[in-house]
Chain A
Amino acid sequence: MKKNFTHVLLNRSLKRLLQYVLIIGVFLIGPSWVSAQTGNVSGKITDASGLPLIGANVVVKGTTVGTISDLDGNYTLTGINPGNQVLVASFIGFANIEQPVEIKANQTLKIDFTLTEDITSLDELVVIGYGVQKKKLSTGATAQVKGDDLVKLKTVNPLQALQGQTPGVNITSTSGQPGETPKINIRGLGTIDNASPLYIVDGVQVGDIKYLSNSDIESIDVLKDAASCAIYGSQAANGVIIITTRQGQQGKSQISFDAYYGMQSRAKKINLLNAAQYAQIMNEQHLNSGGSTSTMPFNLTNLPAYTSKGSANTDWLDEMFEKSAPTQNYNLGITGANEQTSYFMSLNYTGQAGIVGGADKSNYERYGARFNAEHKLYNDKIKIGQHLSVTYEKKKGIQVGNQYSNTLRSAFNVSPLLPMYDDNGKFFNTASNDIVDQNGDTYWNNTEANPYASMIYNNQNLRNTQKLVADVYAVVDLLKNLKYRSSVSTEYYSEDYRSYTPEFKLSIYSFSDYDKVTQNMSKGLSLAYDNTLTYDLNIEAHKITAMVGTWYKHNDGSWMNGENTDLGFDDFGHAWLSNALNTETVLKKITGAPFENSMFSQFARLLYNYNETYLLNYTFRRDGSSRFSEKKRYAPFHSVSAGWVLTNESFMEPFAGILNFMKIRASIGQAGNQNIGDEYMYLAPIKFTQATYNFGNTEAVSENGSFPKRLSNEDLHWENQKQIDIGFDARFLNSKMNVTFDWYNKTTKDWLILAPVLATAGTDAPYINAGSIVNTGVEFQLSYTDTKGDFSYNITPSIAFNKNEVKEIPTEDGIIHGAANTLYANSTEFYRAEDGHAIGYFWGYETDGLFQNTAEVQNYRNSEGTIIQPNAKPGDVRYVDQNGDGKINLDDKTDLGDPNPDVTFSLNLSCNYKAFDLAMFVSGVAGNQIVQSYRDHTNKYSNYTTEILDRWTGEGTSDRIPRVTNGNINYQFSDLFVKNGAYMRISNITIGYDVAKRIKVKNFSQCRIYASIQNLYTLTKYDGMDPEVGYGLDNGSGDKFSSGVDLGYYPLPRTLLMGISVKF
């Protein structure tokens, strides 16, 4: 399956060409048959995967002797003059091979050719939305990643494989938990709410692409600039990702099978204090906070022991992680085509267990099937086809949310003195009065709970998602050059979720007095109807392609949630609502509602070129959405782009030796976004829930009330993005080197946000259009491919720079405030969106080392002589008094960095030598910060990481880590929490060996055995488990702009896997 979409199209035109060439070839070659004393060569021409190439050329260099390969890829050259000759094998889209041979009279040499794809081929096609275009004529900033390159990376979600593949597309995992969708920002974060790109799979808009298997993907095209995106108008402000799935190839049918199995483990360990260190630090805290030596929390020579094994020394992080968790994938594909019909079928299974808690606690499985086919009717006048994909996903997960809903986080805070089990083999309950230590005391801290047991009890759940994505289309040649395409597509999903919590008690705060079941179900169906009309007009060197179209989409569905207690059976397997016996209304909840929205669009595009040298594109789209009031329902989006192929100009001829191709392009355009908030955000609905009042004398029996939910805003309209892009594409050195460069300036304005209204308004703010973000950046990608005999290699480095700045926040203070109480209990706001800063920047105190002695405290004064921190003690943090007013308060908080990388980079290396192949992929980011908060500083008993061993203990001992105290005086949000998030990761190294290239087995064109390591090594200064922290917080009002917050982040695993890939 080496062939791709490009070649499907090429093959079709090629066929006709072949016929001519064959006839001409016969005449040209014919006369030489008669001459005697000549030699012959025969053999087979295949592509790198072993598929026969039909119609490939083989000629004897410098002669007219040549031939074309047949349907099996076989060729025979006759009538070659004896002596040293050079054979040249060529095929469109593949690199030529020149093979020196010694021809002997009356002998037939056997020479096979394996042609490799020439990825720098000038006739490569790119997907541009409602069509394809020759890459050399494209005037937009787009990037294409081949499915084969994705498959190599062996990721569960295609987005993970896309990470680092194209400059300007920043993909960050939000959690290492299997089945989680990573965060994707194309050219910087452009809005405070939903910044996901638009996904188009085979022309069908879908919500996400995690249902796809890498092996089903032919190519992914990323549309980055407004000119490319504008054809998707109102939904494309965050970029567009177009996926084309595989289609049958003319030629022999082929069956491919790929399987891998791997083990995953934790890539990096964090050390927490052990029992002895912990007890010592607790004692020191006590003394530093004014406690007396007679009331020390711990006797260091006699630590409390609550089990017969003596005092505990539990490494809770070790307990939480699974030593090795399996990941596996099996994939079967069948493809084929004849004159009338082409098809692609596949079946696949993917399973990945989580490294936290193992497959019992976090696990993801996906079963998928696909059937794509296309049929030609009436002499190719009509083509009809369909894509059908059915997926079934099963997912279990632990909580990966904020400090209150993060399963892993508690392991950082619980003391190592807590044993896992009591003497009866049960999880240790710190609130138990029956468990005592050697002195007869009950557990010293009855508020802390065994984090492992807590994970076991609180994370029994299963989510099933069934999804069907399908479309049927017809392409009709109405007249010469006039094509009509019509398609009906659907995306249907149905999801159910169950969770179960048993009765348990681990501490005075961590317990459940009853067992509980939750059961949720939801389903949704979207139907879309697309129609396009395309007309090609060629007048001499002027080429025009005009396209108009309409699109209608309707989406509706419903959901229902229920929960109840007192199960007749107490296990997850029986956790269904009908098994719950409780009849009290307060513990029994049921809710449900429908949803519905629709859109209608009209669009047009004009592609023009003169002599393939001067290029001009214009795109228009008018979109309507039910999410807006009638007066603001429709909005137009325009874009214009132009290109100039310099290398077609005569004045460039002197440079033809090195510069093979050079195109300068520029674009300007608009796109929109509406995928925010609820469906009736312009209206002021009355809210009937959450408005009850408990009149009367019976608890929990409340009367229903109502209130207006929010203010209305009938003027609400589309979020709008404007972008300018200037770039060039160039090829050097016989097209071995390929360079793409882009500069862009992207302004997203009129965000759809909940306005921070004055409290006196008395209800939720209306949605308004306000605020803007400017992203400016540069993208650069270089690719170098070469072949030296049996050795071929490719090096592709890329780098992208982006600067992000927020403007025009619609409030008096110019700030959208971040959530408080999220880093640790009662913590304050620490991130925000503010005029003149990067979005989600970290806002807190700047520190200036530690006070080493009391003199330093006394001498730390402002210009008026006020002591700035009069209550500070030696070893405390010195906060910078930014405004010099002699006190440290909110006015002194400042910009401490932001989570958005300034630079993203990657390096792809691959090489082949005979049957061996080796690939390495490196990616990274720089210029971003991470907020790390593992410890709950308002709980003095929280454990520390071993970093605290370097704390201040006296003058000169440390200028960075403050003395330990019971309070959180030194942990006001400051730059002590903010860390450098730059990293460079060796994401993947794969080595493969194709047995079929060595040992020829009939019908087997490939039998490749491979091994790879993912997440092998990360070069970073960040001391957390994983520097790739996409996780962020929110205020619950749709703000999704926060990221880079490590509260006990579920890290990406290190994976070692082996697999086999067979084609026959």
Chain B
Amino acid sequence: MRTYYIFIVMGLLIAINACDLTTEPIVDKLVGNYYSTPDEANEALTGCYDALQLIWSDGVAFPLAADVMSDLCFGGTGASDGEGFPMLDQFDLSVSPADLNVFEPNWKNYYKGIFRCNTLLQKIGNVNWDGQDELAKQIEAEARFLRAFFYFDMVRMWERVPLLTVPSSANTPQSEPDLTYQLIASDLLFAIENARTETYANMPATDFGHATKWAAEALMARVYLYYTGYYGTTDLVGAVTQTDALAYVEDVIANSGHDLVENFADLWPAASTYEAAEAGNPITEATYAGETNKEVVFSIKYTYTSDYNGNTDGNHWLVMYGLRGESYAASGYGSGWGACTVLPSVYSSWPTGDERRDASIMAIDEEGINYTKANDVKEYTGYFTKKYTPTCDEEGNSIAVNNGGVNFMIGQFQDYFSIRFADVLLMAAELGSTNALDYVNQVHTRAGLTALSTVDKDVIFEERRLEFAFEGLRYWDLLRYDPSLQYAANKVAFSGTVETGAAEVSKIIDGNNLVKTRGLFQIPNNQITLSNGVLTQNPGWE
């Protein structure tokens, strides 16, 4: 009997139900109870902007890829490196057959940005705005601007992309480009209506970098020109006409307070140190116009606080353009990885007296640079780019590192000027502004050239080539010139030799490859596999 009781007691012991094991995170808030105050909505918006720093931090940066694929430069990089960059340059997967995922980090990071925007836009209705309706609209406008910005990059790169407007982990198929452009157009229309409208002069110094009405208008014009050019239509998916697009850029020209900076070289850190050195001044006396100058309508803002613990704040792609393996202290050029080697024919194509040539291209022999690492460069031409390139101090030490950057690779902090006022002027001219000649000449004469007497499409395109070389714009101009892509194919075609690791090798870019791929980028193979074939590859990249 006693045995019986003992077993009952033991049974009861096992039947006790547990104590409360719930613990709560102390340093994290949870998705369920966040997005309730205007401050939290603002934080979430900053999180969306943070994705701007992310999108090009890994993989191949959008402007860099566009430059390599344009008629301005070759792939370059190190002589011992793989053939990934030449593969892009030649639109030919067989150059580096194993490189099936070069853009995967970009693809992932764009969707991180879109997820953050979508989450904020979905939760924005839960916020208790306490009467601050203006602020609510403004935050929504900026989030939608950013979403449009991300999708516009993606639809140009990959054309058919999964179109998500709310957060979702579903296996979503790719949308036809028109649907994506519809979302871009409606997001930008909302931003034009509701974004902040301070003029450049009235914008508080600490707020610079926020998307304004002016940025939305300029971006809309860029979207309009690309879509109508590439697809050969007369309007942007029925949402924006040429008249609308022109009106937007005219509004920016008339009302934004943005303007050209006087000296073209002042827009670029390395160009301005070069100019100082040429003038016989210390490079510390360069007249760089800074990152919040009046010409910047919209920029991606970078700083040197990137680290390897997850902080992505820097311009991680700048290092790719730099002089490979060596700095040149005399002109303030920091060392980098030597991608985007400029075609000699591009260097010689600038009109005599065009100040933009020396501000855009680093010419090893012409500038008398004592460069000893040419043997280490792939597709060496004697020319590197100068607009986006690392800088160094008079001892050759990285400026980024001097400022506290982790190293010269991720510590770079030069902002990317996404939309310059010069672009607004040239877009207005192209869209048929009555002031077209004046607008083009403002840009043309700033470069130290004499004014033009007439403008047409080809004049404007040439002006754009010289003005925006190595800013990631030229390639898209080539693609939108005519829908048959013959213009682009002719421009990028190349046959000749380059120097790789001190040896002369032949280099052929077949323009037909551009037509075959329609200039689109490869969709990351891992994502196709992960989707179990729901995603499909772009033509020419299978």
Could you jot down 23 A-B contacts, CB within 8 Å? Answer: A289-B501, A479-B2, A479-B6, A508-B327, A549-B13, A550-B13, A626-B21, A633-B21, A634-B18, A679-B23, A692-B305, A693-B209, A694-B305, A697-B208, A758-B527, A759-B530, A762-B112, A762-B115, A812-B531, A888-B98, A938-B78, A940-B376, A966-B501
> Is B1 interfacial (CB 8 A cutoff)?
no
Q: Which of B280-288, B381-389, B397-405, B444-452 contacts A (4 or more CB under 8 A)?
A: B397-405
User: Known: A699-B413, A704-B46, A711-B169. Contact between A693 and B301, CB under 8 A?
Assistant: yes
Instruction: Please tell me which stretch of B189-197, B307-315, B479-487 contacts chain A, meaning at least 4 of its Cβ atoms lie within 8 angstroms of it.
Output: B307-315
A680 at the interface (CB under 8 A from B): yes
- Residues of A with C-beta under 8 A to B225: none
Given contacts A552-B19, A598-B21, A690-B310, contact A290 B504 (CB under 8 A): yes
Cα-based distance from A697 to B294 in the complex (angstroms): 12
- In Å, the complex CA distance between A968 and B84 comes to 13
Within the assembled complex, what's the spacing in Å between the Cα atoms of A565 and B405?
13
Closest residue of chain B to A290 (Cβ to Cβ) is B503
Binding stretch for chain B, among A62-70, A493-501, A681-689: A681-689
Q: Min CB distance, A921 to chain B, in Å?
A: 42
Please measure, in the bound complex, the distance between the C-alpha atom of A704 and the C-alpha atom of B104, giving whole angstroms: 27
Whether a CB of chain B sits under 8 angstroms from the CB of A878 is no
A residues in contact with B530, CB < 8 Å: 756-759, 811-813
Given contacts A680-B25, A685-B25, A685-B31, whether A763 and B115 have CB atoms under 8 Å apart is: yes
Determine whether the beta carbon of A691 is less than 8 Å from that of B23: no
Stretch in contact with the other chain, from A369-377, A421-429, A586-594: A586-594
Which of B115, B116, B169, B397 is close to A513, meaning CB atoms less than 8 Å apart? B397
Q: Which chain A residues lie closer than 8 Å to B529 at the CB level?
A: 812-813
- Who on chain B is nearest to A687 by CB? B28
Which residue from chain A places its CB closest to the CB of B119 in the assembled complex?
A708
Q: A286-B502, A684-B31, A760-B162 are in contact. List 17 more A-B contacts (CB 8 A).
A: A289-B502, A508-B335, A509-B408, A692-B313, A693-B301, A694-B209, A694-B303, A695-B209, A695-B210, A700-B404, A709-B28, A759-B111, A761-B168, A761-B169, A812-B530, A813-B530, A938-B81
In whole Å, how far is A340's beta carbon from the nearest beta carbon of chain B?
Answer: 29
| Docked complex Cα distance between A587 and B402 (Å) | 11
Contact A602 B111 (CB under 8 A): no
A977 to B16, CA, bound (A): 57
Question: Which residues of A lie under 8 Å from residue B516 when comparing CB positions?
Answer: none
B171 contacts A705, C-beta separation under 8 Å: no
B56 contacts partner chain A, Cβ-Cβ < 8 Å: no
Q: What is the distance, in angstroms, from A1003's C-beta to the closest C-beta of chain B?
A: 50
Instruction: Give the residues in chain B near A624, CB-CB below 8 Å.
Output: 18, 21
Residues of A within 8 A of B78 (CB): 938
Chain A interface residue number, banded: 35 or more
Establish whether residues B34 and A686, one from each chain, have CB atoms under 8 Å apart when the complex forms. yes
Given contacts A702-B305, A759-B111, contact A586 B81 (CB under 8 A): no
> Quick one: which of A291-312 are within 8 Å of B by CB?
291-292, 295
Which of B28, B119, B206, B311 is the most central at the interface, judged by chain A CB atoms within 10 Å of its CB?
Answer: B28
Residue from B45, B205, B530 with most neighbouring chain A CB atoms (10 Å): B530
CB of A632 to closest CB in B, whole Å? 12
**Nearest chain A CB to B158's CB is how many angstroms away?**
12
CA distance A509 to B45 in the complex (A): 37
Chain A residues contacting B473 (CB-CB under 8 Å) are none
A939 to B376, CA, bound (A): 9
A645 vs chain B, min Cβ distance (A): 26
B46 touches A693 (CB 8 A): yes
The 10 tightest CB contacts between A and B, nearest first, are: A762-B115, A290-B503, A705-B46, A685-B28, A889-B97, A705-B47, A812-B532, A707-B47, A696-B206, A693-B49
B3 at the A interface (CB under 8 A): yes
For residue A703, CB closer than 8 A to chain B, the reply is yes
**At the interface, yes or no: A482 with Cβ under 8 Å from chain B?**
yes
Contact assessment for A699 and B21 in the assembled complex, using a CB-CB cutoff below 8 Å: no
Q: Which residue of chain A has its CB nearest to the CB of B335?
A: A508
Chain B positions 319 through 341: 1 when the CB is less than 8 Å from some CB of chain A, otherwise 0 = 00000011100000001000000
CA separation between A11 and B159, bound complex, in Å? 83
Q: Which of B134-173 contact A (CB under 8 A)?
A: 162, 164, 167-169, 171-172
Does B79 make an interface contact (CB < 8 A)? yes
Which residue of A has the minimal Cβ distance to B529?
A: A813
Smallest Cβ distance from A706 to chain B, in angstroms? 4
Q: Is A339 interfacial (CB-CB < 8 Å)?
A: no
Query: Out of A431, A552, A630, which one reaches B22, CB within 8 Å?
Result: A630
Q: For the complex, give the distance between the alpha carbons of A684 and B31 in Å.
A: 6
Number of interface residues of B (CB under 8 A): 111
Determine how close the nearest CB of chain B comes to the CB of A974; give it in whole angstroms: 12
Query: Given the complex, which residues of B lie within 8 Å of A620, measured CB to CB?
Result: 14
Question: B27 an interface residue at 8 Å Cβ cutoff?
Answer: yes
Measured between alpha carbons, how far is A586 from B402 in the docked complex, in Å?
11
Residues on B with C-beta less than 8 A from A479 are 2, 6
A316 to B114, CA, bound (A): 50
**In the complex the two chains form, what is the Cα distance from A289 to B499 in whole Å?**
11
Is A594 in contact with B27, judged by CB distance below 8 angstroms? yes
Does A972 have its Cβ within 8 Å of any Cβ on chain B? yes
Q: Given that A707-B119, A939-B80 are contacting pairs, would A694 and B169 also be in contact in the complex, using a CB cutoff of 8 Å? A: no
* B208 touching A696, Cβ below 8 Å: yes
| A548 touching B14, Cβ below 8 Å | yes
Which residues in chain B, 1-55, are within 8 Å of chain A measured between CB atoms? 2-3, 6-7, 9-11, 13-14, 16, 18-19, 21-23, 25-32, 34, 40, 43-53
Q: Which residues of B contact A702 (CB under 8 A)?
A: 303, 305, 313
Collect the chain B residues with CB atoms within 8 Å of residue A291's CB.
375, 501-503
Q: Are A533 and B311 in contact (CB under 8 A)?
A: no
Query: Bound complex: CA of A227 vs CA of B14, how far in Å?
Result: 19
| Contact present for A887 and B97 (CB under 8 Å) | yes
**Interchain pairs with CB closer than 8 A, number:** 293
- Could you tell me if A763 and B112 are in contact, using CB atoms closer than 8 angstroms? yes
Q: With contacts A508-B335, A546-B10, A686-B34 known, is A762 near B207, CB below 8 A?
A: no
Q: Contact at B302–A513, with CB atoms within 8 Å?
A: no
Is there an interface contact between B16 and A550, defined as CB atoms closer than 8 Å? yes
> Given A697-B290, A758-B171, A763-B112, does the pair A513, B21 have CB atoms closer than 8 Å?
no
Is the pair A694, B504 in contact by a Cβ cutoff of 8 Å?
Answer: no
Q: How far is the CA of A506 from the CA of B239 in the complex (A)?
A: 60
Chain A 752-779: CB-based contact to B (< 8 A → 1; otherwise 0): 0000111111110000000000000000
Question: Would you give the shortest CB distance from B5 to chain A, in whole angstroms?
Answer: 10
A338 at the A/B interface (Cβ < 8 Å)?
Answer: no
Question: B311 contacts A705, CB within 8 Å?
Answer: no
Q: Which residues of A contact B14 (CB under 8 A)?
A: 548, 602-604, 620, 622
Contact A707 B44 (CB under 8 A): yes
Identity of the chain A residue whose Cβ is nearest the Cβ of B10 in the assembled complex: A548
Nearest-neighbour CB distance to chain A for B29, whole angstroms, equals 4
| Closest Cβ–Cβ distance, residue A869 to chain B (whole Å) | 11
**Does B346 lie at the interface of the complex (its beta carbon under 8 Å from any beta carbon of A)?**
no
A407 CB-CB contact with B under 8 Å: no
User: Which of A571-621 touch B at CB < 8 Å?
Assistant: 584, 586-587, 593-594, 596-600, 602-604, 620
A596 to B13, CA, bound (A): 27
Given contacts A696-B207, A763-B115, A888-B97, contact A584 B404 (CB under 8 A): yes
Verify B209–A626 contact, CB threshold 8 A.
no
- CB distance B501 to A967 under 8 Å? yes
A535 an interface residue at 8 Å Cβ cutoff? Answer: yes
Are B23 and A699 in contact (CB-based, < 8 A)?
no
- Give residues 469-496 of B contacting A (CB, 8 Å): none
Any B CB within 8 A of the CB of A854: no
Determine the distance from Cα of A584 to Cα of B303 in the docked complex, in whole angstroms: 14
CB distance from A445 to the nearest CB of B (A): 9
Q: Give residues 161-184 of A contacting B (CB, 8 Å).
A: none
Interface residue B353 (Cβ < 8 Å from any Cβ of A):
no
Partner of A683, one of B30, B167, B404: B30
Q: Tell whether, in the assembled complex, residue A761 and residue B111 are in contact, meaning their CB atoms are under 8 Å apart.
A: yes
Q: Are B303 and A699 in contact (CB under 8 A)?
A: yes
Contact yes or no, A626 B301, CB < 8 A = no
The minimal Cβ–Cβ distance linking B301 to chain A, given in whole angstroms, is: 5
Q: How far is the CB of B148 from chain A (nearest CB, A)?
A: 16
